[in-house]
Chains A and B, each alone.
Chain A
Amino acid sequence: MSTVRIIPRLDIKGPNLVKGINLEGIRVLGSPQDFADYYYRVGADELIYMDVVATLYGRNSLLDFVAETAKRVFLPITVGGGLRSIGDIQQILRAGADKVALNTAAIKQPKLISEAANKFGSSTVVVSIEAKKRPDGSYEAYTDSGRERSGKEAVAWAREACELGAGELLITSIDQEGTGKGCDLVLAREVAKAVSIPVIYSGGVGKKQDILDTLIEGRVNALALASVLHYGVLKAGYIAKAAGLFAFPKHFELLEVATIKDYLVKSGIDCRVQVLRN
């Protein structure tokens, strides 16, 4: 039985950690480095960095940031956003990332998944699927940070990505993302049931119960969390707030990694509990 994972997701734009709602309207929260160091200290299981604009400028600072973090954060680090080729993947791995998350490039060119899996190992390749609900209840995969429709049905695409050699899937509900109003359990479960590989779900967690529901009813193996953790960190004053920070949406429970782990253990879910000695 594998332990579930709680993975802080750091959306990055240029030098800043940002957070939006429905992958839009991003606001600056602070320095991604401060958050990465903090999450390492408090027992996060992995980290995900998403370059949300993936401009050339963003890319260079992302590379520096990954290289810096990898020197002192000894956790698996997944990096996504704008990776288009084997060369891009190689560059980010050389900076110290352990896995890459592929979305737009994989949809446009699915064989990039198998090429990357062959070259770097399946466990290095995470396929990121950003999905939006259609009026008929099915889901469509979007590209370019939720901006462009792909025409691909998300669950079928998940299955295809798995067959092409992805080691893991990261599924984001665009509808729920950043809202804190609960996860899309149907999306989580449909994808999780469709593939034999582990699934990380992202989007909508506003309280502890949402995490448990997504693990049990949504049948996923891990959650990538952003707002609900970042707001908690800022609110508690562990990291200085960025200038002009907005008021936190009131319906969020402000959670910390350790609080979540305690809650999961008490609910009978196996997860890593960090032991501090000395």
Chain B
Amino acid sequence: MDASTAKVVIVDYERGNLFSVKNACAAVGMNVVISQDPKEIAASKGIVFPGVGAFGDAMANLKRLDLLHVLKEALANNIPFLGICLGFQLLMEEGYEHGHHKGLGFIEGAVRRFDDSKALANHFLKVPQIGWKKIFPAQGVSWYNTLLRDVYEGDQFYFVHSYYAEVASKAAKLSVSQFDDLEFCSSIRRGNVFGCQFHPERSGEIGLSVYRRFKDLCELN
């Protein structure tokens, strides 16, 4: 591995499948390791924070593995950060999945469940929502200087989720997508911190462009 390449850590908090994320990082030439060591995470040039599963359970794991502090510190220090799916949702203040749980509190907002009450009448409204959805720039936002630089308005990404982030901070919203008549925030950005509900590592070549931009961001910092 090229010694000049910034070392990026995929955080392993025992929630979800890290291998497809690792493959995507490797495909764009990122120097990446999977780790749950707070010291290694603190020393990294960039953090990829994936995850599937339940919100409260994930926060409990982060606490047990003593990772809450190092993650909050990295976020506060504007270290390049890519939160994916549950890893994106955990950036919020709170989540309502099986009870009420505190999140990392970096972005103002809460994680709520999709309404599946219409699923019996319309099977396209089943939950979890699984499939390729279009993403559009949030109101007044340009993707030019972000990880979505190579993405066109209306490009489709792969989503699988039952919960969505209701983001209170308008300035943090980067993209929006649609579930029935609900417009939800499908990605956020604040400084070098990026979070997306969709899975760029499972979204074909357009998804890889997000990893490529993230690699560039890590090397700049």
Do chains A and B interact in one complex? Answer: yes
A interface list, Cβ under 8 A from B = 1-5, 40, 43, 45, 70-72, 74-77, 93-98, 120-124, 167-168, 192-193, 196-199, 219-222, 270-275
Chain A residues closer than 8 Å to B131, beta-carbon distance: 2-5, 45, 221-222, 272
Q: B27 is contacted by which of A74, A120, A192, A198 (Cβ under 8 Å)?
A: A74
Known A45-B132, A70-B23; judge A76-B158 contact (CB<8 A).
yes
Q: Is chain B's binding surface mostly helix, strand, loop or mixed?
A: mixed
New A-B contacts (12) at CB < 8 Å, excluding given A1-B125, A2-B179: A3-B156, A72-B27, A74-B20, A74-B27, A75-B158, A95-B19, A97-B17, A121-B15, A124-B17, A124-B52, A199-B123, A275-B155
Is the beta-carbon distance between A74 and B132 smaller than 8 angstroms? no
Q: C-beta contact mask, B139-150 vs A, less than 8 Å → 1, else 0? A: 000000000000
In the complex, A97→B123 CA distance in Å?
26
Chain A residues closer than 8 Å to B178, beta-carbon distance: 1
Chain B residues closer than 8 Å to A193, beta-carbon distance: 120
Chain A residues closer than 8 Å to B199, beta-carbon distance: 76
Is the beta-carbon distance between A275 and B152 smaller than 8 angstroms? yes
* B212: interface (CB < 8 Å): no
Q: B23 is contacted by which of A45, A96, A197 (Cβ under 8 Å)?
A: A96
Which of A5, A45, A196: most chain B Cβ within 10 A? A196
Is the beta-carbon distance between B126 and A120 smaller than 8 angstroms? no
Is the beta-carbon distance between B17 and A98 smaller than 8 angstroms? yes
Q: Is chain A's binding surface mostly helix, strand, loop or mixed?
A: loop
In the complex, A183→B17 CA distance in Å?
34
Known A196-B127, A272-B132; judge A121-B179 contact (CB<8 A).
no
Is the beta-carbon distance between B23 and A221 smaller than 8 angstroms? no
In the complex, A236→B155 CA distance in Å?
29
Stretch at the interface among B68-76, B102-110, B189-197, B202-210: B202-210
Q: Can you report 24 residue pairs joining A to B where beta carbons are below 8 Å apart?
A: A1-B122, A1-B180, A2-B124, A2-B126, A2-B129, A3-B131, A3-B132, A3-B133, A4-B131, A70-B23, A74-B24, A74-B202, A74-B203, A74-B207, A94-B19, A96-B23, A97-B17, A167-B130, A197-B128, A198-B130, A222-B131, A272-B131, A274-B204, A275-B152
In the complex, A185→B110 CA distance in Å?
40
Chain A residues closer than 8 Å to B204, beta-carbon distance: 40, 43, 74-75, 274
